[in-house]
Structure 1
Amino acid sequence: MHKKARFSMNKVLSSDKTMELMDEGWQKADLHVHTSCSYDVPKCSTVHPQRLFEKALSRNMGYVTFTDHDTVEAFDMLGWKKERLVPGVELSVTDMCNVGHTVHINVFELDKEQFQDMEFIATKRQDIFSLIDFMNDNDLLYMYNHPFWFAVGEKPNLLAVPELSKHFPVIEYNMQDLKQKNLFSMALAHRFRKGMAVTTDSHTGGIGAVYTMAKGDDFREYFKNISKGNYYLVMDGPIWKHITQELSAWIELVFNMDRISQHEFSTGVNLLDRAVKLILSEKLTEHPNVNLFTMRSIQKLSTSGLPFFLYTLSKRSQVSEIEKMMSIY
């Protein structure tokens, strides 16, 4: 573990130690959650924005936000001024000039016009620093998502990550990424005195399985306290368990997705997309017992730990490269 990450672990709590904080007015929020409005979320009722909003409230989230990929459709459905609901979006910026790879940014407390302006900067101008300037000029709240996650097929510019981190008030600890990468992100947050938020980044309705606690009578105050370092990361269980549970839930959603919805869904990985198309083919959907047996078999494989082990193995060299780069920080 990086020494700065080790030092920062005093910000981590288990959920059974948060009752006293809640009694003192600390708020809970999961700042990275996807709904059925995201292109890579299976279109099922369990991940509909309204269902997830109600689920978050039942889990005592002080603030609820949805950060779908490059869309704010969830807030068109729910309303932009709903109590405890914070408008949000996950923007993708492929800035090959300043960065060299795709960066994901969560933006909060935006309106629809601001989203359209940012979408133009992100997709047309592809200039991350123009986007940061826009967010600052409009007094928006934003977070650097999974700094060491990189899109399939991209060759990342690792040296850009620490330099880019300097421009963000909050850096994410993402439960869908490897622990080693999150520890590097934690080290960056400590090195540059940035806030950190732990998130589910759930695409299956797992909102609130982990969350960040901070004081705040409104969301802006809550987020500002995180950026100042006055926060706790609340998580139970290891990352491998969260990823395995997410994968199993995702498999079930895919098998229960109707065939019409497959045209609106994409994982971004051609091989997986072909697999989903096969699952939703008439041959499987017309035979419920075969469909259920196939789903349970794939879920059993996913919970065996083998997929996670293979994923970890595939990222070993990348983690080593990141570790070498981080040694100078």
Structure 2
Amino acid sequence: MTITSDIQIARADLHCHSTASQFSKLGVQRALGLPECATPPEEVYELAKRRGMDFVTITDHDTIDGALEIAGRHEDAFVSEELTVWFPGEPQAVHVLCFGITVADHEWLQANRGDVGAVSQYLREHGVAHSLAHPFYAVASPLHPRHRQQLAKLFGTWEIRNGSRARELN
């Protein structure tokens, strides 16, 4: 028996940064005042294409500048962002990858990033594809079990493999 499928697979790296991520969120890099990435947006695009990506996006931290730069030049690029979102009134935060967003989405998300529940609701209601990024990496203060329980209710998609993180953080 032969099984055929009309499913087409497209490749895209949905979590990468450019020089638009001005300041690193990572310990040593942050302490030294180094950027998250030293690669300009256009070079990120070119590298992704050389590596066989069908579509390209950049998920810089809390900015869409790099993604806008490549999306304005290439039809196969789209705007995304790695949003830092906080639990209201708490020192815990997570990163949420937001894909295919508009400038208006970005502005709303930045204005409301202090409330993880409101952000999750907005993303669902506006049909924005999204994923909780590196959920076992502490963005700010460590997450407690109750935070993870809340995240499980708020986010249906979690990034489970991140090439820049140690195996135990995946």
1:120 aligns with 2:103: no
Correspondence for 1:160 among 135, 140, 147: 147
Alignment of 1:1-329 (within 5 A): 25-39=8-22, 40=24, 41=35, 44=38, 47-80=39-72, 82-97=74-89, 101-122=92-113, 126-151=114-139, 154-172=141-159, 173-182=161-170
Check whether the contact 1:70–1:119 (CA below 8 A) recurs between aligned residues: yes
Distance 1:94 1:128 in 2: 6
Q: Which runs of 5+ in 1 are unaligned?
A: 1-23, 183-329
**Offset of 1:42 from its aligned partner?**
6.2
1:276 aligned partner:
none
Distance 1:95 1:81, change over 3 A: farther
Aligned to 1:166, the other structure's residue is in SS state helix
Distance 1:113 1:81, change over 3 A: farther
Aligned to 1:26, the other structure's residue is in SS state coil
Alpha-carbon displacement from aligned partner over 1:18-45 (angstroms, at most 9, x marks no partner): xxxxxx732222110000100223674x
**Offset of 1:100 from its aligned partner?**
5.5
Distance 2:70 2:49 in 1: 14
Distance 2:145 2:91 in 1: 9
Distance 1:78 1:86 in 2: 8
Alpha-carbon displacement from aligned partner over 1:188-216 (angstroms, at most 9, x marks no partner): xxxxxxxxxxxxxxxxxxxxxxxxxxxxx
Aligned to 2:52, the other structure's residue is in SS state coil
Distance 2:20 2:62 in 1: 10
Distance 1:104 1:179, change over 3 A: same
Distance 2:37 2:61 in 1: 14
Distance 1:151 1:133 in 2: 21
**1:165 partner letter:** A
> Which one has a bigger Cα radius of gyration?
1
TM-score (norm 1): 0.43
**Offset of 1:80 from its aligned partner?**
4.3
**1:33 partner letter:** C
More helix by share: 1
**1:114 partner letter:** D
Aligned to 1:68, the other structure's residue is in SS state coil
Q: Percent identity?
A: 23
Distance 2:119 2:145 in 1: 21
Distance 1:139 1:85, change over 3 A: same
What is the number of equivalent residue pairs in this alignment? 152
